[in-house]
């Protein structure tokens, strides 16, 4: 089993739709969770950190489910500009130096 | 520009040559991470450095790859005797401190092509 798994998609949705992605992780000692957005041939850009209590930033909501070992990203009112690959990054537990373990990414295509 | 800086942005090397990739962390950051993204693959951790120290090199290939972060100047990822399989995008990230919880910000990357 991979350490961090994402459904690669693509998720094809119309503008205005709500879409959600999940990211599962295998190490129960994982401590920190992040969502990044990566456009084609560009660097990953930090979208948001994921806190135990959840995190919301405008149209984006991130949740953490420790019991089932996954994080989620919800995008409301999708825009054409949301089309990108969404990467989850996980930092593991004790002794960890902070290195991020990434999933393969989920591709989102928002259509007019 | 206070962001993470990497150069060169594109680098072409023939098989057997050396590649040197440079990274200057974001202002106020002293922790540097290198990641590699192979075509059609995910982003993989390579090495984590602080000034004059390699903290975690668990993701570095055993041979030909080395990294440093000197007291003065940028962090350098060095690949000796490059092979076609080294063709990839190499991203540097920086954080304010090390360990979990600290957010990492990525530079624009260096795209290495080995011919």
Best residue in B3, B43, B59 for a mutation probing chain A (most A CBs within 10 Å):
B43
| DSSP summary character for residue B71 | S
| DSSP summary character for residue A103 | -
Q: Does A50 touch chain B (CB under 8 A)?
A: no
Which residue on chain B is closest to A103 by alpha carbon?
B42
**pLDDT tens per residue, range A39-77:** 999 999 999 999 888 899 999 999 999 999 999 999 999
Tokens of B48: 């984590």
**pLDDT tens per residue, range A19-44:** 999 999 998 888 899 999 999 999 99
- How far is Cα B42 from Cα A45, in angstroms, rounded to an integer? 15
Q: Which residues pair with A46 in a beta bridge?
A: A36
> Phi and psi dihedrals of B111, rounded to 5?
-95, 110
Asked if B31 lies within 8 A of A43 by C-beta distance, the reply is no
CA A2 to chain centre: 16
User: Residues 71..90 of A with a Cβ closer than 8 Å to B: which?
Assistant: 87, 89
């Amino acid at each position: 089993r991979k350490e961090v798994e994402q459904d690669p998609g693509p998720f094809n949705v119309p503008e205005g739709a709500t879409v959600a992605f999940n990211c599962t992780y295998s190490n129960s000692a994982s401590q920190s969770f992040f969502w990044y957005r990566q456009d084609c041939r560009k660097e990953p850009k930090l979208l948001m950190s994921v806190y135990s209590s959840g995190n919301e930033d405008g149209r984006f909501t991130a949740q953490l489910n420790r019991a089932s070992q996954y994080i989620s990203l919800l995008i409301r009112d999708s825009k054409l500009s949301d089309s990108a690959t969404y990467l989850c990054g996980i930092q593991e537990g004790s002794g960890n130096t902070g290195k991020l373990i990434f999933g393969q990414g989920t591709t989102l295509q928002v259509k007019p | 520009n206070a962001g993470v800086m990497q150069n060169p942005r594109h680098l072409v090397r023939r098989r057997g040559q050396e590649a040197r990739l440079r990274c200057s962390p974001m202002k106020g950051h002293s922790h540097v991470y290198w990641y590699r993204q192979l075509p059609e693959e995910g982003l993989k951790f390579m090495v984590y450095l602080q000034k004059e120290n390699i903290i975690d090199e668990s993701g570095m290939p055993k041979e030909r790859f080395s990294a440093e972060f000197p007291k003065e100047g940028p962090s350098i990822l060095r690949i000796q005797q490059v092979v076609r399989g080294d063709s990839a995008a190499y991203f540097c990230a920086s954080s304010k401190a090390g360990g979990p919880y600290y957010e990492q910000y990525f530079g624009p990357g260096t795209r290495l092509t080995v011919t």
